[in-house]
Amino acid sequence: MLRPLALLPSCILRRTTASASARRNTMATDGSSGSTAPTTTPTATGNEYSVAFVTTPDSAVATKLARQLVERKLVACVNIIPGLTSIYSWEDKINEDPEVLMMLKTRTDRVEEVIRFVRESHPYSVAEVIAMPMAAGNPPYLDWIGKTVPKRDG
């Protein structure tokens, strides 16, 4: 059964790399959180940032695309979510295939480049790549996206 991302267990969406854990879970020597981020409510992004979704046939393809997108600084982060089943119509036939979902975070002004890169690099002849602006988010996280992904030249 497919479930909306908001209903997926948090462990699926959680980063597991040491660097992500270190960034998120820093502890001060006095046992406090050690975080210097102000306590704030989510703020509107003014459509400065977007999230994009891409499906791939397997984790190897998703990982390769994700690394290339991050290395090129087109995205700040890619979550790779395995275990999807896609049911779709293709060439007048109903298909059901396992797929992997990529969730990309980037600047809105870089979305066209992200789409172009995915189209050129993806094994599917018609790659699913869709994007939408973020309405709001955690200010320190949004700042991190902005510092990680440079604005488009020109």
pLDDT at 46: 77
Confidence at residue 153, expressed as pLDDT on a 0 to 100 scale: 83
Which pLDDT does position 100 carry in this prediction? 99
Q: What is the DSSP string of 109-148?
A: GGHHHHHHHHHHH-SSSS--EEEEE--EE-HHHHHHHHHH
By C-alpha distance, which of 19, 107, 3, 104 is closest to 54? Answer: 104
Domains of the chain: residue spans and CATH: 52-154 (3.30.70.120)
pLDDT averaged per 10 residues in sequence order, the chain, 154 residues: 42 40 45 48 78 98 99 99 97 98 98 98 97 95 97 83
pLDDT of residue 95: 97
pLDDT of residue 93: 98
- Residue 103 CB neighbours (<10 A): 17
Cα distance between residue 66 and residue 118, in whole Å: 10
DSSP state of 135: -
Say what the pLDDT of residue 42 is: 62
